[in-house]
Amino acid sequence: MKRLQDWMDKCAERSVRQSAQLNGRRSALARIGTWMVAGAALPMLPFDRSGGTAEAAMTTSNDPMACEYWRNCALDGFLCNCCGGSLSQCPPGSEVSKVTWVGTCQNPKDGKAYLVSYNDCCGKVACGRCLCNFNERERPGYRMGIHNDINWCMANTQTMYHCTVSAIVGSAAG
């Protein structure tokens, strides 16, 4: 009889311990902690904003006024050559941004890749003409130097954005 009671005691103790482990305060806190760490780490993970197809979608044009002109492959803004300037010169009354970002575009004429500096022109209200948005090799905003959706007039005295020029600054071939 005593052995049976011991056995029943052990079984009951084991099941109470298991239940405490699964449903106890400490395991609940551990689970909440895990979710908090995962929640904090998730936004830090890199993500692909291209949708898998955007980069392959650009068909080039020979018209410098067209968004599809090869040099504009990573330009996000108003084309300065639609706003009284040229491909690489700011319109009168605006000044070129002191900081910029550099993209890489392939010239269909010679097949070579070129470094293109996208400078914003500053100090006049937004031009509003020829809005283009191509993002080849662009990366999300937390990598600021390789992101184009930024007002590069930020370092100028006149921080108002007017339009964007695209100046070739070198060959990417090396």
Residues classed as catalytic: 101, 120
Q: Where are the alpha helices (DSSP H) in the chain?
A: 2-23, 25-41
How far from the centroid of its chain's Cα atoms is residue 59's Cα?
22
Q: Which of 148, 143, 144 is nearest to 78 (CA)?
A: 148
The 10 Å Cβ neighbour count of residue 166 is 27
Least separation in angstroms between CB 168 and ligand ABN: 18
d(CA 92, CA 121): 10
Least separation in angstroms between CB 61 and ligand ABN: 21
Enumerate binding residues for ligand ABN (CB under 6 A). 76-77, 120, 148-152, 161, 164
**CB closer to ligand ABN, 76 vs 114:** 76
**CB closer to ligand ABN, 58 vs 150:** 150
Check: CB of residue 129 under 8 Å from CB of residue 82: yes
Least separation in angstroms between CB 43 and ligand ABN: 22
**CB closer to ligand ABN, 114 vs 120:** 120
Least separation in angstroms between CB 157 and ligand ABN: 17
The 10 Å Cβ neighbour count of residue 25 is 8
d(CA 84, CA 13): 85
